[in-house]
Structure 1
């Protein structure tokens, strides 16, 4: 019997109540919480430059989640189900629409206070989320089907994760032969090791990740990413650095040699204000290079880093304007970010990004010449206000001033105004906690 989305929701709620009854008798910890987050957006040049005469998009998208956390001394359970929809995409008399899904469903065995094994669908979030992140800004978020072994001490941690993915074609119980993986925008296999150390005023992490992608000829190509991130605090100053190197073979059977470098300096000694200056460098591929030198930040929360208008590395390419070139031009991002505390419950943040290409860009109107490396300037403003511990409101405005070089790698026109505005309500109630 196939359950409707409504029946699935009732089943989930019943399971939550059952856990609650068990928790009462077993002296376990139980939390049932929720999230309801409608966000209205006005887009005209978000992610890509608008065409001449293009009208703005205007819509409201909502994420609704139920979260269950249950823990005892030996084990822990985490369940999170969600409904993601655009207002109006379902009719008024709708019975079911297929938008109900599982965001997380994992179990963890605690062998002792330090060693644990976590299995199931889960978010993988590490360091500043540059390579592995939850992508919480998007309505759907990101989660993985993975097995994770964790060793956590007071001042250091060592995690090892692995995943091996298969599609449902043919569905079980007819899945008897072969491990070919297709039809899903995902890696076939993933393994990583992460080490983190906390010192008195310094912390650092080392990450090694092996990413395998299934090819149509049934082989699997692997890329390896290794890197170091670190932070150091001196009085009111904070230094953040990151370096990653990528090698292996990409899905087009091209050799990879790419890098990411980042550095920023923060100052928090001003009244009700903090300031950050920094730069990100992600290598790109020259139009005449046979190897792939374009760094891929993989499964990070890219919206956090390279401008809130998501022109770079958020599921949309910025490649050379020649059909034979499938690799990105990379990115140099020089930025200034500041945060202002307006009151105990209100804050304002502002950011200025100046974007460049680290490699030559071919002029699409004259393939024998190149264009300016300047891609554009972006301004991001975000206001947030907490009405209570569980309810908040946020609003933002961003504007991009693009160039002819940005037109060449993204399409569209830099002449019309490219801007984006949004308004979001966030409800995060805790229904039961015991």
Structure 2
């Protein structure tokens, strides 16, 4: 589509023109080059998780016992430059009766935590005053992660290879632009029979935020995804995730009350074989009283021409229920009406959310879901979490009842 291509080029070009030029002045924190390394920091993080899945689509339940280990070195800053390297390993310790997407155990439900080791992050950054630029493999998390996130819930992060420029003005305006040529997905480090470990392509993330008043902000964004076709995988696993999304988001706090509202418009892009134009909108209100916060939200991923609105780079586990029944938007779209409550009993943080799912285009009830979580921050280094999700499918829905249970122990040095 020539018009779409021209529009993408104009928007990206305008964004680059708006970005301020770097000034390579000395803003050193370390006194010399070698001090970057001698004054750097090393971090070690272990996250053990037991995950249980009872999905009525399968004859056997999944039991996964995994350990994620992170080793991170971050240098001190010298003349505005700093660097970070992070190594990651996912190992199985104990139960491994689950489909990791690479172990061939397709008789079990999926727990997408394939084992392996990789360079999780490796970047060089220059910062000066209100400007920074980061080149290399990095985490990128924007807003509530509905469009761009690191999928931090899974044992293997989603990271991005490319360049990111950030600018913060003195009048509440912030510009964030990233060019990403490779997405390192949670299914890595090696390709699996079900999913490619990486997506290559020409992707642009443009995020402009203006803070109106304290606790009130408006964001305009454009996420332009042009993902290459991957030989050996169906288009839905790669190139058909190409899309252009343009949207607005408002976030505000009014004393004990909060409001978040978003709208986006999406079309197919690049070499996608799809032809659609769909809308996204969401609104969530919250109220806090006596240490308890209640939220009421409504989120819609609409459908057009049999194609649902897509957010393939989102932290999807965070949305539409922890049972992960809607990681791919149904062809008829989806509506999610949810009610949540969160509070604390001593050091124990508790949360519960109820969802009601329906199709956006058709008169179809998908089902309901109850999510529960208890988190105990034992100390600065230790934390424990127990989570549970129960999805009950409607009798007419093309889905099955699913229950999931997670026990997570995290330790950081």
TM-score band (shorter)?
0.7 to 0.9
Aligned with 2:344 (options 341, 345, 360): 341
Indicate the RMSD between aligned Cα atoms, in angstroms: 2.9
Q: Name stretches of at least 5 consecutive residues in structure 2 with no aligned partner.
A: 1-29, 97-113, 185-194, 232-238
Q: Distance in 1 between matches of 2:152 and 2:269?
A: 30
1:17-416 alignment, distance < 5 Å: 25=35, 30-45=40-55, 49-51=56-58, 54-72=59-77, 73-88=79-94, 99-110=116-127, 112-154=128-170, 155-165=172-182, 185-200=198-213, 201-215=215-229, 223-249=243-269, 252-268=272-288, 270-285=289-304, 289=305, 293-313=307-327, 317=328, 319=330, 328-343=331-346, 345-360=347-362, 372-406=363-397, 408=398, 410=399, 413-414=400-401
Aligned residues of 1:44 and 1:420 also touching (Cα < 8 A): yes
TM-score normalised per structure 2 = 0.77
Q: Distance in 2 between matches of 1:242 and 1:251?
A: 28
Aligned residues of 1:249 and 1:256 also touching (Cα < 8 A): no
Q: Distance in 1 between matches of 2:385 and 2:318?
A: 16
Aligned residues of 1:333 and 1:355 also touching (Cα < 8 A): yes
Q: Distance in 2 between matches of 1:166 and 1:338?
A: 34
Task: Report SS of the residue matched to 2:317.
Answer: helix
Task: Report SS of the residue matched to 2:320.
Answer: coil
Choose 221-230 or 142-151, whichever is displaced more.
221-230
Q: Distance in 2 between matches of 1:390 and 1:41?
A: 22
Aligned residues of 1:79 and 1:104 also touching (Cα < 8 A): yes
Aligned residues of 1:187 and 1:211 also touching (Cα < 8 A): no
Task: String of CA shifts for 1:77-98, please: whole Å, max 9, x gaps.
Answer: 11111101222599xxxxxx98
1:22–1:68 distance in 2 versus 1, CA, 3 Å: farther
Q: Distance in 1 between matches of 2:43 and 2:71?
A: 6
1:305–1:210 distance in 2 versus 1, CA, 3 Å: same
Task: String of CA shifts for 1:39-98, please: whole Å, max 9, x gaps.
Answer: 1111102xxx434xx2221121111101121131411111111101222599xxxxxx98
**Equivalent residue number for residue 172 of structure 1:** none
Aligned residues of 1:223 and 1:256 also touching (Cα < 8 A): no
Q: Distance in 1 between matches of 2:291 and 2:322?
A: 23
**Equivalent residue number for residue 178 of structure 1:** none
Q: Which has the larger radius of gyration?
A: 1
Aligned residues of 2:217 and 2:252 also touching (Cα < 8 A): yes
Aligned residues of 2:218 and 2:248 also touching (Cα < 8 A): yes
Q: Distance in 2 between matches of 1:27 and 1:254?
A: 49
Q: Distance in 2 between matches of 1:63 and 1:183?
A: 21
Choose 147-156 or 72-81, whichever is displaced more.
147-156
Q: Distance in 2 between matches of 1:166 and 1:383?
A: 32
* 1:426 equivalenced with 2:404 (yes/no): no
Q: Distance in 1 between matches of 2:250 and 2:316?
A: 19
Task: String of CA shifts for 1:369-415, please: whole Å, max 9, x gaps.
Answer: xxx51111100000011110110111011111111343x2x4xx44x
Q: Distance in 2 between matches of 1:60 and 1:29?
A: 37
1:350 Cα deviation (Å)?
0.4
1:82–1:165 distance in 2 versus 1, CA, 3 Å: closer
